[in-house]
């Protein structure tokens, strides 16, 4: 069952009330026990002069300016560990950090350069990679079947697939994107994409305090999506899923969104007869933070993996709600240099070592960010001969005889 974290009863997270000083005196935040679990369980808490507990304490004491000037403001990677462990269920990840960063930007404090560059690309091009919207469908060119572009051929569909940025543009992710298109076709799904009209759904922008940019994207996306008829809004990016089910409803936009693992797990009876080629490998699955800790979806990815013949599924010591973040979420993809500068390390490096320790040959993922992060970390750690990274989509496609290049 998908469970959303509780919203504050008296503090609506909207543009007019994104105020850090009001927030910390709201009913939810007044419940802070100053127990320190947030700092103690944060994977980067040791790098912060002001972890959440001390932030709340100092802002109440009138030291907001001191907090805003500290590098700690930009060290959170939105892994939801603090929120999930808080005994008072305070929404630190979704409320405290974005409100604090929003104030920092308003006061003229610049974010790390890589993050600022990402913001500017999204504003100019509608995607974090700075690619032309006209190239949104470049990934489709190697396919031997047409993809319905609803931007030029609008009609009702069963599934509207919001492809998102990395799956549309990044070469490694494009392989996964094409494989997923083949799977949808094999299942007989009536689907289409938004083509050049698609823009980033804005999850990372909001979490990193760019509320103005998030609103621009949100308003544009809501207006666009409401022009189409569909039964499911499908995404393969967990961050996009989180935005659609967590933040868009706050603005009156309740779309029937699903992450691909949830969507396919619901169709296992239809999918299983198509899984004919065995994947003879030991596989371990990395729980990503957005559909895992944030939304409570742990079993759907595992059900898909266990349905593939030949796979032996093993677990890392840290799994499900205790899984270590890859370090890329909520803007973390553009904070590696900042984190390292302030005494931290890339969490993805540690995570691939945990995966390799299981004896698995394949580290399975279900997030576009994780492919590049973990593949890079495997090279950094010299683990190329021991383990490789594959999206669950790639493993399914191989078993169905659809994988690009025919290898896994």
Tens digits of pLDDT across the chain (408 residues): 222 233 333 334 444 346 888 888 888 888 899 999 999 999 999 999 999 999 999 999 999 999 999 999 999 999 999 999 999 999 898 889 888 998 998 889 888 888 889 889 999 999 989 999 999 999 999 999 999 999 999 999 999 999 999 999 999 999 999 999 999 999 999 999 999 999 999 888 888 888 889 989 999 999 999 999 999 999 999 999 999 998 999 889 999 999 999 999 999 999 999 999 999 999 999 999 999 998 899 999 999 999 999 999 999 999 999 999 999 877 788 888 888 888 888 999 999 999 999 999 999 999 999 999 999 999 999 999 999 999 999 999 999 999 887 677
Look up tokens 């920092």; give the residue. 104
Indicate if 212 and 242 belong to the same structural domain. yes
Tell me, yes or no, whether 348 lies in a domain: yes
Indicate if 173 and 93 belong to the same structural domain. no
Indicate if 135 and 235 belong to the same structural domain. yes
Indicate if 197 and 117 belong to the same structural domain. yes
pTM for the full predicted model: 0.92
Q: What Cα–Cα distance (Å) separates residue 393 from each residue in 138, 316, 327, 398, 408? A: 19, 20, 22, 9, 11
Q: How many domains does the chain have?
A: 3
Indicate if 233 and 258 belong to the same structural domain. yes
With a CB cutoff of 8 Å and minimum separation 6, the contacts of 182 are 143, 397, 400, 402
Tell me, yes or no, whether 10 lies in a domain: no
C-alpha 30/C-alpha 6 separation (Å) is: 16
Indicate if 55 and 71 belong to the same structural domain. yes
Q: Which domain holds residue 94?
A: 15-106
C-alpha 132/C-alpha 140 separation (Å) is: 15
- The secondary element (H helix, E strand) that includes residue 364 is strand 362-365
Indicate if 118 and 239 belong to the same structural domain. yes
Tell me, yes or no, whether 382 lies in a domain: yes
């Amino acid at each position: 069952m998908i469970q959303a974290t509780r919203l504050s009863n008296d503090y609506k997270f909207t543009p007019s009330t994104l105020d850090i000083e009001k927030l910390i005196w709201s009913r939810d935040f007044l419940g802070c026990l100053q127990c320190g679990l947030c700092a103690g369980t944060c994977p980067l808490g040791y790098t912060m002069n002001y972890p959440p507990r001390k932030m709340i304490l100092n802002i109440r004491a009138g030291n907001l300016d001191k907090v805003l000037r500290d590098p700690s403001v930009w060290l959170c990677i939105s892994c939801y560990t603090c929120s999930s462990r808080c005994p008072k269920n305070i929404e630190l990840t979704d409320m405290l950090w974005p409100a604090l960063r929003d104030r920092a930007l308003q006061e003229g404090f610049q974010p790390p350069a890589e993050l600022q560059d990402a913001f500017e690309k999204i504003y100019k091009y509608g995607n974090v990679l700075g690619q032309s919207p006209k190239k949104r469908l470049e990934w489709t060119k190697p396919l031997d079947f047409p993809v319905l572009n609803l931007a030029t051929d609008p009609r009702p569909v069963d599934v509207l697939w919001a492809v998102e940025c990395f799956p549309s543009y990044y070469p490694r992710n494009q392989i996964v994107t094409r494989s997923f298109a083949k799977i949808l076709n094999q299942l007989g799904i009536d689907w289409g994409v938004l083509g050049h009209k698609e823009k980033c759904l804005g999850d990372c922008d909001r979490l990193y305090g760019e509320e103005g940019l998030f609103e621009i994207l949100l308003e544009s996306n809501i207006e666009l999506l409401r022009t189409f008829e569909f039964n499911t809004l499908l995404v393969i990016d967990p961050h996009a899923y989180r935005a659609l089910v967590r933040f868009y409803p706050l603005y009156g936009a309740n779309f029937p969104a699903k992450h691909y693992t949830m969507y396919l797990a619901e169709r296992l009876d239809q999918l299983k007869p198509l899984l004919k080629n065995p994947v003879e490998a030991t596989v371990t699955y990395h729980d990503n933070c957005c559909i895992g800790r944030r939304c409570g979806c742990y079993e759907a990815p595992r059900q898909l993996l266990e349905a593939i013949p030949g796979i032996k599924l093993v677990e890392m010591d840290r799994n499900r709600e205790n899984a270590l973040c890859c370090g890329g979420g909520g803007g973390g993809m553009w904070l590696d240099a900042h984190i390292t500068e302030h005494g931290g390390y890339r969490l993805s490096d540690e995570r691939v070592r945990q995966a390799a320790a299981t004896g698995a040959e394949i580290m399975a993922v279900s997030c576009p960010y994780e492919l590049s992060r973990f593949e890079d970390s495997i090279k950094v750690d010299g683990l190329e001969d021991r383990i490789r990274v594959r999206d669950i989509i790639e493993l399914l496609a191989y078993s169905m005889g659809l994988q690009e290049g025919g290898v896994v």
